[in-house]
Chains A and B, each alone.
Chain A
Amino acid sequence: MKIGIILTPDARSKTYLQKLIQNKIHLNEVVFMNDNRPKPNYLEDIIQKSKEFGFDISKPILKSLQQSQIKFKEFPFVDINHPELISYLARSNSEIFIFTGGGILQNEVLNCGPKFVHLHPGIVPNYRGSTCFYYSIINEDKCGVTAYFMDEKLDTGDIIYQRSFEKPNHQYIDEVYDPFIRSETLIDVLKNKRIESNEFKKQDPHGETYYIIHPVLKHISILNCIKE
Chain B
Amino acid sequence: MTTYPYSSENLLEKPQKYQMSPFEGRDFLFSYLNSRKKTIHILEKNKKNSYDEILDQFKRSSDVNFESFSESVILEKFLSFLIYNILEINRKKETNEYIDLLLKKFEIKKILYSTYNSEFKRITDDFTNLHNYTLLTLIFQIKYKQTKALKYLNVILKLNDILCSQHSNLNYFDAELTYHLLNHEIDFVSELCHQKGIEFL
Residues of chain A having any CB pair with chain B under 8 Å: 135, 138-139, 171, 174, 208-220, 222-224, 227
User: Can you offer 29 A-B residue contacts whose CB atoms are under 8 A?
Assistant: A135-B151, A135-B154, A138-B196, A139-B150, A211-B104, A211-B155, A212-B17, A212-B19, A214-B18, A214-B154, A215-B18, A215-B21, A215-B32, A216-B28, A216-B29, A216-B32, A216-B157, A216-B189, A217-B150, A217-B153, A217-B157, A219-B24, A219-B25, A220-B189, A220-B198, A222-B23, A223-B26, A223-B196, A227-B196
Give the nearest-CB partner of B24 in chain A: A219
B154 adjacent to A220 (CB under 8 Å): no
B28 adjacent to A220 (CB under 8 Å): no
B23 adjacent to A218 (CB under 8 Å): yes
A227 adjacent to B157 (CB under 8 Å): no
Tell yes or no: B42 within 8 A of A by CB. Answer: no
A217 adjacent to B154 (CB under 8 Å): yes
**9 nearest CB pairs, A to B:** A211-B107, A214-B157, A215-B21, A224-B196, A223-B198, A212-B18, A214-B154, A219-B28, A135-B150
Give the nearest-CB partner of B150 in chain A: A135
Tell yes or no: B192 within 8 A of A by CB. Answer: yes
Given A208-B151, A220-B193, A220-B198: A213 in contact with B18 (beta carbons within 8 A): yes
Given A138-B150, A211-B107, A211-B151: A219 in contact with B192 (beta carbons within 8 A): no
A215-B28, A218-B21 known, 9 other contacts, Cβ within 8 Å:
A171-B23, A211-B107, A212-B18, A213-B18, A219-B25, A219-B28, A220-B29, A220-B198, A224-B196
- What B residues does A209 contact at CB under 8 A? 104
Q: Which of B38-84 contact A (CB under 8 A)?
A: none
The distance from the CB of A228 to the nearest CB of chain B, in whole angstroms, is 10
Give the nearest-CB partner of A210 in chain B: B151
Q: Which of B150-200 contact A (CB under 8 A)?
A: 150-151, 153-155, 157-158, 189, 192-193, 196-198
- What A residues does B157 contact at CB under 8 A? 214, 216-217
Number of residues of chain B lying within 8 A (CB) of chain A = 30
Tell yes or no: B20 within 8 A of A by CB. Answer: yes
A220 adjacent to B196 (CB under 8 Å): yes
Give the nearest-CB partner of A134 in chain B: B150
Distance in angstroms between the alpha carbons of A140 and B50 in the assembled complex: 35
- What B residues does A217 contact at CB under 8 A? 150, 153-154, 157
Give the nearest-CB partner of A209 in chain B: B104
B20 adjacent to A174 (CB under 8 Å): yes
Tell yes or no: B140 within 8 A of A by CB. Answer: no
The distance from the CB of A38 to the nearest CB of chain B, in whole angstroms, is 15
Of the candidates A138, A219, A227, the one having the most CB atoms from chain B within 10 angstroms of its own CB is A219
Distance in angstroms between the alpha carbons of A216 and B36 in the assembled complex: 12
Tell yes or no: B133 within 8 A of A by CB. Answer: no
The distance from the CB of B147 to the nearest CB of chain A, in whole angstroms, is 11
- What B residues does A216 contact at CB under 8 A? 28-29, 32, 157, 189
Of the candidates B18, B149, B153, B158, the one having the most CB atoms from chain A within 10 angstroms of its own CB is B18
Tell yes or no: B113 within 8 A of A by CB. Answer: no
Distance in angstroms between the alpha carbons of A227 and B193 in the assembled complex: 12
- What B residues does A215 contact at CB under 8 A? 6, 18, 21, 28, 32
